[in-house]
Amino acid sequence: MEYMLPLLGIAAANLLAAISPGPSFVLVARIAVAGSRRAGLAAAAGMVLGAWIWAAAAIFGLALLFAELAWLYRAIQFLGGLYLIYIAVMVWRGARAPITVDMKGGATRDPLRAFVVALLSQLSNPKVVVFFGSVFVALLPAHAPAWVWAATLAIVLFNETLWYTTLALSFSAAPVRRVYASIKVWLDRAVAGVLGALGLKLVLDRG
Q: Please tell me the distance from the alpha carbon of residue 165 to that of residue 19, in angstroms, as a whole number.
A: 12
For the segment 39-87, what is each residue's pLDDT rounded down to a tens digit? 999 999 999 999 999 999 888 876 566 667 778 777 877 877 787 788 7
For the segment 88-128, what is each residue's pLDDT rounded down to a tens digit? 887 788 777 665 434 344 456 788 999 998 998 888 877 78
Q: Please tell me the distance from the alpha carbon of residue 195 to that of residue 7, in angstroms, as a whole number.
A: 32
Give Cα 110 to chain centroid, integer Å.
19
Q: Please tell me the distance from the alpha carbon of residue 26 to that of residue 28, in angstroms, as a whole number.
A: 6
Look up the pTM and report it: 0.70
Instruction: Give the number of C-alpha atoms closer than 13 A to the C-alpha of residue 197, restricted to the C-beta side.
Output: 8
